[in-house]
């Protein structure tokens, strides 16, 4: 369980926030989340967008107590206000509740600017508001989503979509692909790599010393010993066995329905699902809006809420900010955990080097 510990105000992390699709609920949940009474005590928020667009959505949510500080870039921030980096100056046509090329264009601009500053260290972690895939395609965005874009931009060989709450962590072997492609996309090597990233993330980012991970089967009843499919025996189980040989505490494959229905999921630190809906349906049903999407395996921390643009709610001031608020909290916690892990690791390396030098000196 992640604990939201007190943070020294002088050492608050800088949290970059992308606006997502300006026609959706992104800025509504951003502003509602940032109105939390302790927000400026625990982080320095930086919205990548436009003061004009932020003001437009601020009028919708009617949060007069929120003030923000417009900036040309993130090099000089106001440490006790919400900062807005103006990524564009022109007026924007906002069409609430509809996917448009403009919505995709400015979501992309916001993301590009935030990722640039993430790579250079001007921000410590990134929280992304929802984008709409059709809007992004209309604007010429060639990636499936945030995860694929960030994996490329941060030069990662692989990444892992991980949904997390205080009580449950579910990761996916395959994510945004059609269901009919899932079986052919699952290989032993692919599962092993996802489990490696998952195990590393649970140790480094969630602070678990010896995490135990459950692996779900692909077919009903986990294949029923080959009667309902062979992926479990030919691909998934051999991957689990190999990971155990490498020192990971990995178990399975389990039949997904019984695993969640019986409450067995409570016994594990993490659960690896084979495909999108197998993992996300039970996760969302069990976490009640407190879930967060975390991209594991990257050199930087990125989180997002576990919901989409919700065009049907856009402009109505009815969107629940809980998931976005948890995404900010989790970004802060994961950044701190990873920093502490890396410092401990560097300290251990220095101790070993010192001991080796002492032995060589005695010789």
Q: Is the pLDDT of residue 202 over 70?
A: yes
Domain layout of the chain by residue ranges = 9-156+298-363, 158-287
pLDDT at residue 3, rounded to an integer: 42
pLDDT at residue 128, rounded to an integer: 98
Distance CA 75, CA 89 (A): 18
pLDDT digits (tens, 9 = 90+) for 247-258: 999 999 999 999
What one-character-per-residue DSSP string does 88-109 give? --S-----TTS--HHHHHHHHH
pLDDT digits (tens, 9 = 90+) for 38-69: 999 999 999 999 999 999 999 999 888 888 99
Distance CA 139, CA 104 (A): 5
Residue 251: φ, ψ to 5°: -135, 150
Q: pTM for the full model?
A: 0.90
**What does pLDDT average to over the chain?**
92
**Fold of the CATH domain 158-287:** Isopropylmalate Dehydrogenase (3.40.718)
pLDDT band (50, 70, 90) for residue 1: very low
Q: Which candidate, 34, 68, 36, 35, places its Cα nearest to that of 53? A: 68
pLDDT digits (tens, 9 = 90+) for 163-180: 999 889 999 999 989 999
pLDDT at residue 168, rounded to an integer: 96
Superfamily of domain 9-156+298-363: Isopropylmalate Dehydrogenase (3.40.718.10)
Between strands 44-49 and 82-86, the pairing is: parallel
Q: Lowest-confidence range among 154-158, 180-184, 223-227, 269-273? A: 223-227
pLDDT at residue 344, rounded to an integer: 86
Q: Which candidate, 278, 279, 182, 186, places its Cα nearest to that of 237? A: 186
pLDDT digits (tens, 9 = 90+) for 214-250: 999 999 887 667 777 799 999 999 999 999 999 999 9
Q: What is the DSSP letter of 170?
A: E
Q: Is the pLDDT of residue 4 over 50?
A: no
Do 9-156+298-363 and 158-287 fold alike per CATH? yes
Q: What is the DSSP letter of 212?
A: E
pLDDT at residue 229, rounded to an integer: 78
pLDDT at residue 309, rounded to an integer: 97
Distance CA 340, CA 2 (A): 14
pLDDT band (50, 70, 90) for residue 289: confident
pLDDT band (50, 70, 90) for residue 349: low
């Amino acid at each position: 369980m992640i604990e939201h510990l007190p943070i020294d105000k002088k050492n608050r992390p800088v949290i970059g926030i992308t606006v997502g699709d300006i026609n959706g609920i992104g800025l509504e949940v951003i502003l509602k989340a940032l109105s939390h009474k302790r927000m400026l005590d625990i982080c320095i928020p930086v919205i990548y967008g436009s003061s004009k667009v932020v003001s437009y959505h601020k009028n919708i949510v009617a949060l007069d107590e929120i003030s923000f500080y417009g900036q040309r870039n993130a090099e000089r921030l106001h440490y006790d206000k919400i900062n807005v980096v103006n990524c564009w100056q022109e007026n924007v046509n906002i069409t609430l509740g509809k996917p448009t090329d403009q919505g995709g264009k400015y979501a992309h601009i916001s993301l590009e600017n935030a990722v640039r500053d993430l790579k250079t260290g001007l921000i410590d972690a990134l929280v992304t508001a929802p984008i709409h895939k059709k809007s992004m395609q209309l604007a010429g965005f060639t990636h499936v989503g945030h995860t694929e874009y960030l994996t490329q931009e941060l030069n990662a060989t692989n990444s892992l979509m991980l949904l997390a709450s205080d009580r449950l962590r579910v990761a996916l072997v395959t994510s945004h692909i059609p269901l009919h492609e899932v079986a052919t996309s699952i290989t032993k090597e692919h599962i092993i790599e996802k489990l490696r990233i998952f195990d590393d993330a649970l140790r480094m980012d969630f602070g678990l010393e010896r995490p135990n991970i459950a692996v779900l089967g692909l077919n009903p009843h986990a294949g029923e010993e080959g009667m309902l499919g062979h992926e479990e025996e030919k691909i998934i189980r051999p991957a689990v066995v190999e990971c155990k040989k490498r020192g990971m505490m990995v178990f399975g494959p389990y039949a997904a329905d019984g695993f969640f229905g019986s409450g067995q999921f409570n016994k594990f630190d993490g659960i690896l699902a084979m495909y999108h809906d197998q993992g996300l349906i039970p996760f969302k049903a069990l976490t009640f809006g407190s879930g967060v999407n975390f991209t594991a395996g990257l050199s930087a921390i990125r989180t997002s809420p576990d919901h989409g643009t919700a065009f049907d709610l856009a402009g109505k001031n009815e969107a629940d900010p809980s998931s976005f608020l948890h995404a900010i909290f989790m970004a802060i916690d994961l950044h701190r955990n990873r920093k502490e892990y890396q410092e401990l690791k560097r300290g251990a390396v220095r101790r070993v080097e010192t001991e080796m030098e002492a032995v060589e000196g005695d010789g």
